[in-house]
Amino acid sequence: MKWIAIFAAVIAAIFFIWSQTARADTPQTGQAAPDFKLPDQNGKTHTLADYRGKWLVLYFYPKDDTPGCTEQACKFRDDLHQITALGAHVVGVSVDDSASHADFAKKYNLPFPLLADSKATVAASYGSLTNFGIVKFAKRNTFLIDPTGKIAKVYLSASTSRNSIEIIEDLKKFKAS
């Protein structure tokens, strides 16, 4: 029992340190958004510059076709008309490959790009990578990037059910000011 308690304490300490380090690496409001160049589910390459002059919802998610990721993607799909009416584009990013993204997008009729960050470099540059050595996945973080390419708002551990609504509410506030 003593070893189990020690093991649990070590794991908790590692998780705490890891979570604090990850937040320190996350771009903050007002900073320039890290650049990216990644293929989507159709093989088309997307860069941050492609969205210059437009609002960009860049959302990171752990894994294609899992319950939480499916809920979040479908909420963005369902709310896409409102988001685009506010002048924004939605782009999802995970460390899954383009083929996995293509299957996911087709299965749920997702009309926005899903970028394949197979080397996990973009997720890392956004402080949104969980790296356990051989297992890597993106954290569920969302970045609202303004038309000048700066981070307007950061949503850490974004809610799968509310993230798209939060984006819509915040876009309305930014448009009003």
Q: Which of 48, 58, 69, 122 is catalytic?
A: 69
Reply yes or no on whether 74 is catalytic: no
- Please report how many Cα atoms fall inside a 13 Å half-sphere around the Cα of residue 58, on the Cβ side: 36
Burial of 176 (0-12, 13-18, 19+ CB in 10 A): exposed
Q: Whole-angstrom Cα distance, residue 119 to residue 97?
A: 10
Q: Which residues contact 90 (CB under 8 A, 6 or more apart)?
A: 57, 59, 76, 80, 83, 112
Contact 114, 105 (CB under 8 A): yes
Contact 152, 146 (CB under 8 A): yes
Q: Whole-angstrom Cα distance, residue 47 to residue 158?
A: 23
- Residue numbers annotated as active site: 69
